[in-house]
Structure formats: C-alpha cells, structure tokens
Structure 1
Amino acid sequence: MKIRDILNDNKVHISFEIFPPKTDAGYDNVLSAAEQIAALKPSFISVTYGAGGGTSKNTAKIASHIRQNLGVESLAHLTCVSSTKDEVHQVIDRLKEQGIENILALRGDIPKDDTFPVPNQYKYACELIEDIKSQGDFCIGAACYPEGHVESACKKEDIIHLKNKVECGVDFLTTQMFFDNSILYNFLYRIREQGITVPVLPGIMPVTNGKQMKRICDLSGTILPQRFRAIVDCFGDNPAAMQQAGIAYATDQIIDLIANGIRNIHIYSMNKPEVAAAIMRNLSEIVGA
C-alpha cells in the first residue's frame, strides 16, 4: 500500500525507522528489532540506506521482509550522493523486484573529499525524485528541515528548494529531528504560505544516550531548548535514567503535536524496540482517541 494513501484517512499514524546492519554479522539482530517494532503495529517502518553502499545492499531486503512477512508497510530510503545514476537505477530495479512501493528520496551528505558531483551523478535530490518518478508508480517521500538546511543561506532559500522538490513529484515530507515543537509549527505555517500542501511527518528522536547530542548538533545544527539541555546535563551520565527521560520528553512532544492537530508522526527509533514499545505504551489511549 502506498504511504500517501495511508496518510489520507485523517487517523493518527505513528511510524518508526530502523537501519540496516553495518556488517552482515548484525543482520539477524536487525531483523529481530524489525519484528519487535512491527509487532507494535505502526503505520509503516522506514529502512535507511548506507551512503557509499556500505549498508545499502540490505535496505531492499529488509524492507521487503517487513512488508511481506511482518505485515507492515515499508518505506525504503534511497540516498544518491555516493552513487552514479546507473547504480541508482539498479537499486530502483531491485526495489521493484521486491515489491517495494514507497521510496524516501535523499541526496545525502556531500563527501568531504571534494569529488561531488562526478559525471553521471545526481547533484540535487530533485533530480533523483524525477528519475524515480519516471521509473515506476512509486510513492515518493523527501526530507525537509524545520530549522533550515545547513547548506542553505537562509530559511527562505531552503523553502524555495523544498517547493522545487515537491513539484518534482514528492507525495509527503518527513522532517529532520527537532526538540522544540514551536519550530515545527512555525515551519508548517511558512511552507503552507508558499503553497506546499503535501503531508508533513514530524521526525521525533527519543534521545536515550547523552553522547548522541554532540553528534546530532554537529550534523544538523539542531537547536536544543534549555529544558532539554537540563535533562541531558542531569541524566546524561546515567544510561537508565537518560533513557527514561528521553522517552518521556519524546512522548511529551508527540502528545503536544497530536493535541494541535498533527496526525502523522515518524519516530527515529534507532533499532531500539524497547524504546518504540515504551512510547507506544505511553500513547495507547491517545492514538486511538
């Protein structure tokens, strides 16, 4: 089933994300995590893609397993920054063969060796989106950045680029993680004013390890509210307490989003079924309300 159809029924939809193993030795552990998360009956599960092919070979395989054997719709990420167009076409063919109908089209982080782009390579996500659309009847998602993309000069420029992506054939958007809901509400107001009307799924990251924070900030430029900083400062050195506090903070974000009319929420669950399960327990009556 296409995700655009799932999102169209005005119910609350919760989805989760997993990532393939870095080595084949971790494959069974990822399948186990996927099975436990699927048992929570999310609206769909997304499967990330390793830049440079490091973990990408298993994306289609895991996404197909989730869809065909676990009874949950799947969304396969496709990142093009380290691949030629021919290589991307091979991946699209593989997704078709596995019966995957939903693709999250991403450019990815530019390599630091200044070789981007090389001949026969995509420069922008919109080029990838157009190519996917020309190759089959896929439902296509894309990323958006409520705090602005780190490469954009300003938020206005970023929204212009986002509108271009949507006009190339995007069916829905998933946001980068954020920790202050007012940032999302402001972002939604601004993009709707510019005529971007596709569904937007807020991306919520339950931070369960204080060491995650520096990497998150370095990669994305995400703003950390003082309330959240205080939680990390207080509990960051106590893994069990930090996990509980991170789950509570993410749950609070989700409850506020639902109370303010947001119906579709994506959770970056990081292959942690215990975290996904705790959040779903916290939302058990709210999601069905």
Structure 2
Amino acid sequence: MNHAHYERVFSFEFFPPKTAEGAEKLRHTRRQLAQLNPAFFSVTYGAGGTTQDRTLETVVEIQQDGYPAAPHLSCIGATRDSLRQVLALYRHHGIRHLVALRGDLPSGTLGGGEFRYASDLVRFVREETGDHFFIEVAAYPEVHPQAHSAQEGIRHFQEKVEAGADSAITQYFYNPDAYFSFVEDCGAAGITVPIVPGIMPIANFSQLSRFSDACGAEIPRWIRQKMQGYGDDSASIKAFGLEVVTHLCDRLLEGGAPGLHFYTMNSAGLTSVIWERLHLT
C-alpha cells in the first residue's frame, strides 16, 4: 500500500468540558498538544445533542487560538431546520471541517428525528453547503455493534462516502490486523478515501473495559489478561498500556496508515508520550 502521495494527518479529539475547571484543564491540555502541531482538533458531541452549545464554544475557542477545529455533528434527534442553523453558525465562525456521525440515541427515545443514518446527514450537509466543509465520517474495523455483518458495515461506510465524505476516522481497536483487513476490504469495494485509525491510549483499564463492551471495540485477550494481572498497580498498567499502544501506532504507520487520530480524553500526558516514542515531532 503506497500512501506517499498525501501528507499523513495527525489529529486529537476532545470532549466538551462540563465545568469551568474542566474548561481550564482542557485549555492547558490543548496548549500542550498544540505544540505537536496537529492537522486539527475535533470536539465530540453528547448523546441527544446535550452538549451542542458546549461543542460550539469549544471549537470556536480553538479556532480563535489559530488551530483548525472539527466539531462532531450528530443527526440523531436533529431536524433539517436545526441542522441548517448549526451549519450556518459553524460557517459564520470560519469552521471548514466536520465529523458527521449518526450519534447515540438519547436514552429513552425511539425516534431518530428526520435523519436515520450518517449517510443522510452527509448528503444533507453537501446539499446545503456544497464543498465548504471537509467531512469526516466514522468507520468500524471490528464491525459496528448494530451492523449484522462485516459486509453490511462496509456497505454503510460506502454509502457515507458516496454521499460526499472526504475521509474517515475509525473506532479505536488494539488489533492492527483488524484495521489492515478492513482497509483491504474497503479498497476491494472501491472505497478510496483515507481511513485514519482512531487511537485510544490506555489510562484506566476497568474504565476501558466498560467502554469497549459498550461500543464494540475488542480488547485482545492477552492484553486483558495481562492488565487484570496487574490488579491495582497503576504504574504497571500505565507502562504496559503505553507499550501496547505505541507498538500499535508503529505497526499502523509502517503498514501505510494515512495518519493517527488520538482520543485524548482531554488529557495530554499519554498522547504526548506515545507521540515522542514514535518520533513524530
């Protein structure tokens, strides 16, 4: 696989802070990570649109600091009119980059608003705004929890690309072969957009386990066994987690991945260490 014809894209993801302390901590994190000169910072969006205003505040602040910011845009529970307003707001603030997702259904709701799938959202953004936005979508190397098969997952991804997506960021994973196999299947299906691996540094193993079960990311058994063997020894968990994730990133980049997207959990430490170990500076 030869990706030499485009620059590798490195990016960092944040979630919108809920408190003034959280906002201050995120500013500190962002300043540290900004020194690594990422292509962009993305900012997630809470279930059912609970954080949309905070997402906007956070991306506007990042843009004002002189860094490209990419807000997550979710279509669950959205109407055409509500999305039109959000897109106008983002354009007004000079934002050129979006991460378009179906999003999580807010608990206790059945309906998904006027859009059923992320592909509907991508199509809508293109119809409304032409090529103003660079649109990222999600991809699932280990199959989306709601997809019935790997083939169906690829078909959904293909629909998002045909609707106008420019690039994809994957759900996190720890098995590089899952990623390479997915990229190969996408290539065979005629999908040519860059598929950037999403990377989740390991800070707290029990939290990661809960999270992974919920979103369908697989933690390989050997990693799970070793982590459980460390019990409460957080220094060993951290050291082993750094080793695992750095090695994963190394393999991905060597194998031709078009960049890396770090899920930072609003903290700079682990991401910075992995970055240094990969000699990316």
- Root-mean-square deviation (CA, aligned residues, Å) is 2.0
- Alpha-carbon distance change, 158 to 259 in structure 1, aligned in 2, over 3 angstroms: same
Matched, 1:39 2:31: no
Task: Map 1:90-109 to 2 at 5 A.
Answer: 90-109=85-104
Residues 51 and 82 in structure 1, CA contact (< 8 A), matched pair in contact too: no
**Partner of residue 152, structure 1:** 147
Q: Which of 209, 216, 220 does residue 204 from structure 2 map onto?
A: 209
Paired residue secondary structure (1:78): strand
5+ residue gaps, structure 2: none
Q: CA deviation at 1:262?
A: 1.6
Q: Does 1:135 align with 2:131?
A: no
- Distance change (3 Å), C-alpha of 1:89 and 1:239: farther
Contact 2:209 2:219 in 1 (8 A): no
Q: Distance in 2 between matches of 1:8 and 1:102?
A: 23
Residue number in structure 1 paired with 2:61: 65
| 1:229 aligned partner, one-letter code | R
277 and 147 in structure 1: CA distance in 2 versus 1, 3 angstrom threshold: same
Residues 242-261 of structure 1 aligned to structure 2 (within 5 Å): 242-261=237-256
Sequence identity (%):
34
Q: Which residue of 1 aligns with 2:266?
A: 271
Match of 1:200? 195
Write the distance in 2 (CA, Å) between the matches of 1:15 and 1:112. 30
- Indicate yes or no: 2:213 matched with 1:218: yes
1:227: Cα distance to partner?
Answer: 2.6
SS of the residue corresponding to residue 40 of structure 1 reads coil
Relative to 1, partners in 2 of residues 1:225 and 1:241: Cα closer, same or farther, differing over 3 Å?
same
Classify 1:41/1:9 alpha carbon distance in 2 versus 1 (closer, same or farther; 3 Å). Answer: farther
* Contact 2:40/2:70 (8 A) holds in 1: yes
SS of the residue 1:135 aligns to: helix
1:107 Cα shift?
A: 0.8
Task: Show CA shifts across 1:146-200 (max 9, x none).
Answer: 1111111111111111111110000000100111000001101111100111000
101-110 vs 14-23, which moves further: 14-23
* 2:49 is equivalent to residue 53 of structure 1: yes
Following TM superposition, where does structure 1 have runs of at least 4 consecutive aligned residues deviating by more than 6 angstroms? none
8 Å contact kept, 2:47–2:106: no
Determine helix, strand or coil for the equivalent of 1:176.
Answer: strand
What is the 5 A alignment of 1:15-34? 15-24=11-20, 26-34=22-30
Aligned residue pair count: 277
Output one character per residue of 1:226-282: Cα deviation in whole Å (capped at 9) or x when no partner: 231133213352233322222221111011111112231111111111112111211
Local SS of the residue matching 1:140: strand
- SS at 2:172's partner residue? coil
1:80 offset after TM fit, Å?
A: 1.9
Q: How many angstroms apart in 1 are the aligned matches of 2:206 and 2:265?
A: 14
TM superposition score normalised by structure 2: 0.91
Q: Hey, what's the Cα distance between the residues in 2 that align with 1:58 and 1:225?
A: 35
Counterpart pick for 2:75 among 66, 80, 87: 80
TM superposition shift of 1:202: 0.5
2:119 to 102, 121, 126: 126
TM-score of the two chains, using structure 1 as the length reference: 0.89
CA distance in 2, matches of 1:127, 1:12: 28
Question: Which amino acid is the alignment partner of residue 176 of structure 1?
Answer: Q
Alignment check: 8 A CA contact 1:33 1:273 kept: yes
Structure 1 counterpart SS, 2:126: helix
User: What SS is found at the alignment partner of 2:187?
Assistant: helix
